[in-house]
Structure 1
């Protein structure tokens, strides 16, 4: 008996149908609603149906996209990590120094926290809970750490510790900004101290941290 021919599959780059677009809009609406809730309250206090109410969709609708609160929170975390990290990467595309790219990323996270406290609150509440978010952010940081080491600017001895240092200092600075504890040129000072901690000389760290951000010079 001949083997049945499987039905044709849509091309990977085929345009989304109207139904797919509507589904994506609804999913994004739910993620955005969860993001607003996370910015206002602790993640453990958020209920799945509360997300549906915030998004103004029927209670049953949310179960077509997420089964648990953790799934919603993971989607929020990945959205935060992907969108801002990709934006930073795009701005830094023509910067060839890993150390400089690292400084740019640190400063942009801190400046975004100053401009958008709800976004910063959401990121700070989720980053320590969601492994997928930490992994996504770590990809960019590790690339810059390794490049800075290869350039001879950094001289750290443990990559994992170096990664933790960058993330902890950056999120700590974001929290300081949200709580109103920042100092003048907070983003530049934090970036400079991180570069020095990673092995950059004081003069090099000061210079790289103070360079104009891409798109602002």
Structure 2
């Protein structure tokens, strides 16, 4: 007979303060990653950016890799929440994929610092890469079942979508975006995945959620 699970105990004031400090360090690292390559950021820089005592950071993170992992997990959680919100009520995998590509490029245009951090962290952290891959694969498979996509290899299709999406974000950050940049990237991705030109054009210009 299984025991009834006990509810989680409420956080104490000390735990809440510790969580706030940890989140402050993660936010500080995210700001630094927006300005510098991940490998150039030292632990003490994160402490300084977060305006905490130098020794404080070692109570939370021992290495830069641990900081990168924490930032990656935070971005992955944010990514999940964003995609879930975008996907609500959208039944087509091909539509969801097009919407996702466009919305992340648009956010890069609106928030270059966030995009710069994502671009850098995604190459270092497995958590965010796995999160992205999970959603993209689901949409690729749904789009194939719908008869919209027709590609030879799923792993290559996955790489294509992620690489083009990140590339579109990078172009936005670097000021190389063209008119309707988000739609044009999405349209070319859809065509590369086997969509007909007419359908790709239509899907890449559908109204965006919200």
Secondary structure in 1 aligned to 2:59?
Answer: coil
Checking the alignment, whether the CA contact within 8 Å between 2:68 and 2:124 is kept in structure 1 is no
Which structure 1 residue ranges, 5 or more long, are not aligned?
1-9
Which residue in the other structure is 2:161 paired with?
A: 166
Moved more, 18-27 or 150-159: 18-27
Moved more, 13-22 or 166-175: 13-22
Which residue in the other structure is 1:198 paired with?
A: 193
The question of 1:183 aligning with 2:178 is answered yes
State the Cα RMSD in Å: 1.4
Which residue in the other structure is 2:70 paired with?
A: 75
Alpha-carbon separation, structure 2, partners of 1:187 and 1:122: 19
Alpha-carbon separation, structure 2, partners of 1:107 and 1:37: 26
Which residue in the other structure is 1:5 paired with?
A: none
Alpha-carbon separation, structure 2, partners of 1:116 and 1:184: 18
Secondary structure in 1 aligned to 2:72?
Answer: helix
Bigger Rg over Cα: 1
Which structure 2 residue ranges, 5 or more long, are not aligned?
none
Equivalent positions of 1:41-60 (< 5 A) are 41-60=36-55
Checking the alignment, whether the CA contact within 8 Å between 1:88 and 1:108 is kept in structure 2 is no
Cα drift, residue 17 of structure 1: 2.6
Corresponding residue to 1:17 among 9, 12, 15: 12
Alpha-carbon separation, structure 1, partners of 2:64 and 2:35: 16
Q: CA offsets per residue over residues 110-165 of structure 1, 9 Å max, x none?
A: 00100011111111112112222211111111111111111111111211101000
Alpha-carbon separation, structure 2, partners of 1:143 and 1:16: 36
Equivalent positions of 1:66-215 (< 5 A) are 66-215=61-210
TM-score scaled to structure 1, two decimals?
A: 0.91
Alpha-carbon separation, structure 2, partners of 1:151 and 1:59: 55
TM-score scaled to structure 2, two decimals?
A: 0.93
Which residue in the other structure is 2:25 paired with?
A: 30
Cα drift, residue 13 of structure 1: 3.8
Report the count of equivalent residues: 206
Q: CA offsets per residue over residues 40-77 of structure 1, 9 Å max, x none?
A: 11111111011011101112221111110011011112
